[in-house]
Amino acid sequence: MMMSGGWRMVPMDMNMPMLPGLEGAVPVVGPFMPGTMIDPATLPEARPSLVVPLSNMDTLDISVSMVRRTIAGHEMIMFGYNGQYPGPLIQAPQNATIIVRVKNEIEMPTTIHWHGIRIDNRFDGVPGLTQEAIGRDETFTYEVRVPDAGMYWYHPHVREDVQQDLGLYGNLLVTSPDPNYYGPAHREEIFVLDDILIDDQGALPWGEESPTHALMGRFGNVMMVNGKTDHQMEVRQGEVVRFHLTNVANSRTFNVTFGNAAMKVVASDVSRFEREQLVTSIVIAPAERYVVDVRFDKPGEVAIANTIQAINHFRGEFYPHVDTLSLVTVSDQNADSEVSMAFETLREHSDVVREVRPLREHFGREPDHELVTTVRVQNLHQSIVLSMESDTLYAAPMEWNDAMPMMNWLSTADEVTWILEDVTTGAQNDEIDWSFQVGDIVKMRIHNKPDSFHPMNHPIHIHGQRFLVASIDGVENQNLVWKDTAILPVGSTMDVLVEMSNPGEWMMHCHIAEHLHAGMMFSFTVNDQAP
């Protein structure tokens, strides 16, 4: 439905009546679509991601450009790294340095942030903090040293809500020299999870001056694995598949299930877990990564799915919702049984255990810094305010779906400010001014205030360092893993131990793209030498 100012009505579940007073309302910002004056036929069709193995000091050229893509039957102009979706899968050995020359050929300034890498601060990709944004036709050369094995990813740090959503993301796999770093598996699969908001004409426009969907973030209604809406796999009976999951969505946390297949979580953002652990699903928030081994025991079809209990705010009810992400056909041919059997052993990663042990002594002590998360709104449409305020008697720990699509769409970063507040000083977002020394173990206590206008889960991301989630709501974490992003559910209090190992100016922010651009960020300093 066309509306004023070039906006189209946000797709909605028509069982949900529109709030009175919102008929015809559009966001206060203008609509943005990439390449509006360009005939898509003149653009190259995006290709699936290619693997690019690099050695120490190898150089990779990446162009950031417009591509033609078809998603769910809609041909659209999107962005791509080297014309690929996702961007090239870069592989590099642990401790290598790779050189990446980035040329910007899109109409917006951009950068590349190397998410999770304890990188030299100059190459962290934060405009205004570590570099100037790369303008159109300009080039910037990143030197990326990769000190930790695992799965990482790269994405812009300029208007992520637009650029990332339009396809600017790729994985960086850092390989360990240890051939037994992970246990045996028959094969490995990369799963980049994303969603995109589409109506019958294609992607819904983004906000031009600032993001729409500032309240809950822009949830998509079409799910993708590696940029595909119809991902499929074939495996043999008993096959153990190691999945490397990355969530690149703007706001959606996925609950990934693998039917009745046996699964164990092995690693996350910056390391392996102390111990492999059997699980029934993988909860993965924007920017997080998980490595999970899955054994497909029975022939037949298995749907890898996002399995959630969504909320219908109009009816005040939870309801089950399942989106298939990939369809796996398990043949009755048997996979090599030795590897299948080895799956049963839950490995302990003694080097991780040893490495994190000294940090356990910080578990009991008082935090060095305390933060709360909250939100402030101004000039928001009165019927949205009334409706939201009547709904604050209960907020779920996590928001798995966009239960109020129109209200969410209409809220922009002009009206909504998401806040990280220092409890001691009252400083909010960029007013926060912390500095540390290399070698400090900093304990941060972060509380997600449930009594705000609209409490919501936040994936909290810290640049350039690694941290442990020591406890949530006073329950100590028994199986530690180095993280760069962690979920803070509504009402929860999370203690994290940040190992300040990397000097520079580093960001800390919510990784819901719209929350970040609605203010939810600050930077802190890590000094190399005593001041």
Nearest to 469 by CA among 435, 446, 453, 437: 446
**Residue 418 Cβ, how far from Cu ion at the closest point, in Å?**
6
Window contacting other proteins (CB under 8 A); options: 37-45, 218-226, 312-320, 497-505: 312-320
393 binds, among Cu ion, other proteins, none (CB under 5 to 8 A by kind): other proteins
Q: Cβ of residue 178: shortest distance to Cu ion, in angstroms? A: 36
**Contacts with other proteins in 254-293 (CB under 8 A)?**
255, 257, 265, 268, 273, 277, 279-284
Minimum distance from CB of 116 to other proteins (Å)? 17
Which one of other proteins, Cu ion, none is in contact with 21 (Cβ closer than 5 to 8 A by kind)?
none
Which one among 199, 208, 391, 505 touches other proteins, defined by CB under 8 A? Answer: 391
Could you tell which of other proteins, Cu ion, none binds residue 458, using a CB distance below 5 to 8 A set by kind? Cu ion
SS3 282: strand
* Residues 468, 84 contacting (CB under 8 angstroms): no
Q: Which is nearer to Cu ion, 295 or 483 (CB)?
A: 483
Q: Pick from 37, 390, 528, 531 the residue near other proteins by CB under 8 A.
A: 390
Binding of residue 394 to other proteins (CB under 8 A): yes
Strand residue runs (E) in 297-335: 300-312, 317-334
Which of other proteins, Cu ion, none does residue 25 bind to, with CB < 5 to 8 Å depending on kind?
A: none
Q: Cβ 266 to other proteins, closest distance in Å?
A: 10
Report residue 505 as tokens: 């100016």
Spacing of C-alpha 358 from chain mean position: 29
Residue 526 touching other proteins (CB under 8 A): no
Compute the distance between CA of residue 89 and CA of residue 86 in angstroms, rounded to an integer.
Answer: 8
Cβ nearer to other proteins, comparing 293 with 414: 293
Burial classification of residue 203, based on how many CB atoms lie within 10 Å of its CB (0-12 exposed, 13-18 middle, 19 or more buried): buried
Across 82-238, the runs of DSSP E, i.e. the strands, are: 84-85, 89-93, 97-104, 113-115, 139-145, 150-155, 170-175, 187-196, 198-199, 202-203, 206-207, 222-225, 231-237
Residues 108, 159 contacting (CB under 8 angstroms)? yes
Position 337 contacts other proteins (CB under 8 A):
no
314's tokens: 């109009």
> First-to-last CA distance in the chain?
60
- Lay out the site mask for other proteins across 230-259 (x = CB under 8 A, - = otherwise): -------------------------x-x--
Cβ atoms 155, 207 nearer than 8 A: no
Question: Contact residues for other proteins (CB under 8 A)?
Answer: 17, 20, 255, 257, 265, 268, 273, 277, 279-284, 307-309, 311, 313-321, 390-391, 393-394, 396-398, 400, 450, 469, 472-475, 477-479, 481, 486-494
